Chains A and B, each alone.
Chain A
Amino acid sequence: MGDLIDDLLAGKHRALARAITKIENRSPGYRDLVGELYQHTGDAEVIGITGSPGAGKSTLVDKLAKTYRDEGLTVGVIAIDPSSPFTGGSVLGDRIRMASVSGDMDVFFRSMSARGSLGGLSTATADAVKALDAFGKDKVIVETVGAGQNEIDIVKTADTVAVLVPPGSGDDVQMLKAGILEIGDVFVVNKADLPGADRTVMELREMIDTRNDYTQTADHHGADAASEAAASEAMARETDDEGWTPQVVETVAEDGTGVDDLIELLADHATYLAESGKGEERARQRYAEEIRTLLREDVNQLVAGELAARGGIESYVQRVLDRETDPYAVADELVAPIEECVEADRDG
Chain B
Amino acid sequence: MSADADQRTIRCLVAKVGLDGHDRGAHVIARAFRDAGFEVIYSGLHRSPDEVVQAAVQEDVDVLGISILSGAHNTLVPKILAGLDEYDALDDTLVVVGGIIPEDDRPKLKEAGVGGIFGPGASMEEAVEFVRENAPQRD
Chain A interface residues toward B at CB < 8 A: 13-14, 17-18, 20-21, 25-28, 87-93, 95-96, 102-105, 108-111, 113, 115, 118-119, 300-301, 304
B residues less than 8 Å from A89 (CB atoms): 33-40
A residues less than 8 Å from B33 (CB atoms): 89
When C-beta atoms are compared, the residue in chain B nearest to A26 turns out to be: B5
With the chains together, A88 CA to B44 CA distance in Å? 22
Find residues 3-42 in chain B having any chain A CB closer than 8 Å to their own CB.
4-5, 8-9, 11, 30-31, 33-42
With the chains together, A103 CA to B51 CA distance in Å? 4
B residues less than 8 Å from A96 (CB atoms): 42-44
Residue B129 at the chain A interface, CB threshold 8 Å: no
The answer to whether B42 and A92 have CB atoms under 8 Å apart is yes
A89-B39, A115-B39 known; 8 new pairs, CB 8 Å cut-off, are A89-B33, A93-B42, A95-B44, A95-B59, A102-B47, A109-B55, A111-B41, A301-B1
B residues less than 8 Å from A87 (CB atoms): 4
Count the B residues whose beta carbon is within 8 Å of the partner chain — how many? 35
A residues less than 8 Å from B11 (CB atoms): 21
Residue B2 at the chain A interface, CB threshold 8 Å: yes
The answer to whether A90 and B57 have CB atoms under 8 Å apart is no
A residues less than 8 Å from B42 (CB atoms): 91-93, 95-96
The answer to whether A300 and B9 have CB atoms under 8 Å apart is no
With the chains together, A15 CA to B9 CA distance in Å? 19
Residue B58 at the chain A interface, CB threshold 8 Å: yes
With the chains together, A21 CA to B89 CA distance in Å? 14
When C-beta atoms are compared, the residue in chain A nearest to B55 turns out to be: A95
Find residues 77-100 in chain B having any chain A CB closer than 8 Å to their own CB.
87-89
The answer to whether B1 and A115 have CB atoms under 8 Å apart is no
Chain B interface residues toward A at CB < 8 A: 1-2, 4-5, 8-9, 11, 30-31, 33-44, 47-48, 50-51, 54-55, 57-60, 87-89, 139
Beyond A14-B89, A119-B1, whether A91 also contacts B40 by CB under 8 A is yes
When C-beta atoms are compared, the residue in chain B nearest to A305 turns out to be: B1
Output the least CB separation between B8 and chain A (Å). Answer: 7
The answer to whether B30 and A304 have CB atoms under 8 Å apart is no
With the chains together, A301 CA to B1 CA distance in Å? 7
* Contacts A/B (CB < 8 Å), 29 sampled: A13-B58, A14-B57, A14-B60, A14-B87, A21-B60, A25-B5, A26-B5, A28-B139, A89-B33, A89-B37, A90-B39, A90-B40, A91-B34, A91-B42, A92-B39, A93-B41, A93-B44, A95-B41, A95-B42, A95-B43, A95-B59, A103-B48, A110-B59, A111-B41, A115-B39, A118-B2, A118-B4, A119-B1, A300-B1
A residues less than 8 Å from B50 (CB atoms): 103
When C-beta atoms are compared, the residue in chain A nearest to B36 turns out to be: A89
When C-beta atoms are compared, the residue in chain A nearest to B45 turns out to be: A96
The answer to whether A102 and B35 have CB atoms under 8 Å apart is no
Identify which of A25, A26, A119 gathers the most chain B CB atoms within 10 Å of its CB.
A25
B residues less than 8 Å from A28 (CB atoms): 139
With the chains together, A118 CA to B4 CA distance in Å? 9
Output the least CB separation between A148 and chain B (Å). Answer: 21
The answer to whether A18 and B60 have CB atoms under 8 Å apart is yes
When C-beta atoms are compared, the residue in chain A nearest to B42 turns out to be: A93
A residues less than 8 Å from B30 (CB atoms): 91
CB-contact partner of B41 in A92, A118, A300, under 8 A: A92
A residues less than 8 Å from B38 (CB atoms): 89
With the chains together, A28 CA to B87 CA distance in Å? 24
3 A-B pairs with least C-beta separation:
A89-B34, A96-B44, A17-B60
